[in-house]
Amino acid sequence: MAAKFGKVRVAMVVLLASLALVACRREPAEQRLRAAVQELQTAIEARDSDAVEDVLAADFIGPEGLDRQGARRLAAAMFLRHGDVGANLGPLDIELKGANAVVRFPAVVRGGELLSGSGGAYDVETGWREESGEWRLYRAQWTPVL
């Protein structure tokens, strides 16, 4: 009987160890970064300025000194002002540098003056940093495509 309980204990230990390994396995950095970019795009499409802010690092900086709170306020204002707000992103060019990354992509913006000017096409360059296992956007700049 004791041998039976010993085998059960060993099986439980193996099962728990296997579950722990599966739980600790992380997706590759690039995959998690792509998911963070998608999370930001989804927040914009959902018109959720709080979710937009959640993707931004505390020290986020954009054009003309735009900070994290300013970006949230700008998003909220655009969501109130325009019924259809969104961005279609082109292919992502990802350059991983350890816990930092640069992501470049073309974007077509709809719904008014989300970035600058009156919407349209932009070349976008963003800086991302991994913080506590989550990618956070800490820098963004965009240039209108003529």
**What would the 3-class secondary structure string for the chain be?**
CHHHHHHHHHHHHHHHHHHHHHHHCCCCHHHHHHHHHHHHHHHHHCCCHHHHHHHEEEEEECHHHCEHHHHHHHHHHHHHHCCCCEEEECCCEEEEECCEEEEEEEEEEECCCCCCECEEEEEEEEEEEEECCEEEEEEEEEEECC
Q: Is there a domain that residue 109 lies in?
A: yes
pLDDT digits (tens, 9 = 90+) for 96-119: 999 999 999 999 987 755 444 456
Range 58-72 average pLDDT = 95
| Global confidence as pTM | 0.76
> Does any domain span residue 6?
no
Q: Is residue 7 part of a domain?
A: no
Is 43 part of a structural domain of the chain?
yes
Position 12 in a domain: no
User: CATH no. for residue 97?
Assistant: 3.10.450.50
Q: How many domains does the chain have?
A: 1
Q: What is the pLDDT of residues 19-44, one digit of tens each?
A: 343 444 468 999 999 999 999 999 99
User: Higher-confidence residue: 87 or 26?
Assistant: 87
Instruction: Kindly state whether residue 1 falls inside one of the protein's structural domains.
Output: no
Q: What is the residue range of 47's domain?
A: 28-144
